[in-house]
């Protein structure tokens, strides 16, 4: 039995029974990383010595946390004290944070072991991990294809069994889309369910940290650990954190499920569409009540997102100016020249594109025409979701319009942005959404299904995802 093939829950059982040690667990995954990293390139930094030292420390402890001995990969826009955090950008190439993100502290409190920092699209701007300043991560199912993005490294690490779980960030689908491409489970929690303290901001009103795991049960366990208050994120909800693992396994009866109209999905990949319809048919056989969704604002969601997110990014990324930390161009003769040279050299093409988009949308004379209209559209989308969840328990969509595409296939930025067409709505509304793998294409590529629920209804979300996982029986790598 290979330890790297086990889920987090299975590993926890072995560790609790003392059938294996934390050091043995870490060594197994480090060996897997050594075997696979040259072809996958999921990690920007592997913490071999640190992870082994931490494992030995945990093995000596008498009282251990819920994740004792479990290696976890962390997306490189989540701060880790004393460990380089770059956001896959040259402008932060040597940045060493003086503190850790709340989610990292919570994981370490439960004795999880940080095994490395994963590759990503620079500052989380992208859908393929091709926008990393350092290298492109490959999809473990087909090395010619992207793993998705921006949390592509985190998804690829779990899919390649280099880590049993990872954390990513989701601004418009950046956990769910790579989860779908890589055949793993990915969750975007309700906005304010998980602290954003220590997450390097892309778009603050949209960003949310979420887990990527091999199973729904593992996903529920990780949310249980990372959710809840910390006193450092003023947007964090005071609602208590439910027992997701317990509630997930309770009976789910008399459910009402909304699905997309034919005209919304008519242009997507035929195999993705068929798999979506198959799952709807399966739910109907199980007794679910299906409702066609009337969502007039759906067609405006993508345009709305790509005005609001870059606008927030243009403000958030203004701090990278060469003055306080990060890259500073050495030969500038004055302040203006230093700003210009540092940001020109430090930011990649996609980041520059989104800064320009956002600055334009916020500029005098265009604010009302673009940003304000997008903000009003977002309010309308939120209202439509609230009305929908008065009638149904879940909304089901494909996670992505197509399976993982070939590296270099989408040079047109607009074509790349369309990858987020099914995922951005959950971020705009702030509702929870999960992607689970439900099948393979004829070429052997994973297909993901997205399930959305009402605010703070993650327990309900896990129930349906857990039920579908058992029924579908997706074959993992």
Catalytic residues: 75, 150, 174
* Residue 373 tokens, joined: 């209209």
CB 158 within 8 A of CB 175: no
Before 23, cis peptide (omega within 30)? Answer: no
Cβ contacts of residue 156 below 8 Å, gap of 6+?
40, 42, 118, 129, 137, 138, 139, 140, 147, 162, 178, 182
H-type alpha helices, 363-453 = 373-388, 413-417, 424-429
The structure tokens 């399930």 sit at 451
Cross-strand bridge partners of residue 46: 116
β-pairing, 185-188 vs 113-118, is unpaired
β-pairing, 208-213 vs 165-170, is antiparallel
The structure tokens 């870490």 sit at 26
Q: How far apart are CA 163 and CA 178, in angstroms?
A: 15
Q: Which of 400, 416, 420 is nearest to 408 (CA)?
A: 416
- The alpha carbon dihedral of 162, 167, 169, 173 has a sign of positive
* Residue 438 tokens, joined: 């439900």
* Residue 37 tokens, joined: 């990293």
Q: How many CB atoms lie within 10 A of CB 254?
A: 8
């Amino acid at each position: 039995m290979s330890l790297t093939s086990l889920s987090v829950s299975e590993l926890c059982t072995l560790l609790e029974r003392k059938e294996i040690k934390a050091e043995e667990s870490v060594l197994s995954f480090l060996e897997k990383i050594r075997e696979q990293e040259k072809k996958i390139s999921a990690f920007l930094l592997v913490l071999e010595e640190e992870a082994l030292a931490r494992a030995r420390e945990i093995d000596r402890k008498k009282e251990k946390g819920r994740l004792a001995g479990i290696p976890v990969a962390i997306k490189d826009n989540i701060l880790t004290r004393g460990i380089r955090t770059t956001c896959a950008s040259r402008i932060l190439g040597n940045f060493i944070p003086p503190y850790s993100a709340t989610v990292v502290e919570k994981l370490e409190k439960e004795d999880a072991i940080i095994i490395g920092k994963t590759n990503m699209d620079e500052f989380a701007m992208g859908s393929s991990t091709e926008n990393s300043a350092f290298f492109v991560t490959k999809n473990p199912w087909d090395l010619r294809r992207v793993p998705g993005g921006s949390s592509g490294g985190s998804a690829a690490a779990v899919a390649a069994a280099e880590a049993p779980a990872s954390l990513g960030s989701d601004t418009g689908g950046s956990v769910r889309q790579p989860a779908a491409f890589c055949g793993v489970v990915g969750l975007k929690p309700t906005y304010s369910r998980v602290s954003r303290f220590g997450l390097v901001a892309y778009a603050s009103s949209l960003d949310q940290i979420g887990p990527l795991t091999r199973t729904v049960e593992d996903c529920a366990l990780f949310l249980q650990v990372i959710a809840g208050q910390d006193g450092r994120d003023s947007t964090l909800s005071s609602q208590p954190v439910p027992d997701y693992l317990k509630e997930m396994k309770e009976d789910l009866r008399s459910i009402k499920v909304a699905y997309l109209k034919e005209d919304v999905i008519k242009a997507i990949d035929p195999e993705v569409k068929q798999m979506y319809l198959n799952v709807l048919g399966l739910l109907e056989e199980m007794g679910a009540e299906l409702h066609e969704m009337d969502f007039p604002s759906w067609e405006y969601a993508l345009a709305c997102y790509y005005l609001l997110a870059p606008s927030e990014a243009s403000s958030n990324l203004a701090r990278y100016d060469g003055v306080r930390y990060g890259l500073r161009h050495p030969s500038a003769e004055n302040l203006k020249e230093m700003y210009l040279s540092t940001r020109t050299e430090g930011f990649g093409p996609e980041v520059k594109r989104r800064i320009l988009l956002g600055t334009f949308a916020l500029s005098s004379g265009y604010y009302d025409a673009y940003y304000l209209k997008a903000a009003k559209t977002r309010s309308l989308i939120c209202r439509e979701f609230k009305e929908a969840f008065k009638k149904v328990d879940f909304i089901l969509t494909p996670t992505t319009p197509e399976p993982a595409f070939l590296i270099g296939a989408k040079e047109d930025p607009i074509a790349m942005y369309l990858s987020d067409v099914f995922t951005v709505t959950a971020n705009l509304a702030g509702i929870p959404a999960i992607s689970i793998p439900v099948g393979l294409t004829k070429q052997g590529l994973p297909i993901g299904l997205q399930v959305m629920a009402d605010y703070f209804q993650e327990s309900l979300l896990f129930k349906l995802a857990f039920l579908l996982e058992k029924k579908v029986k997706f074959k993992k790598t």
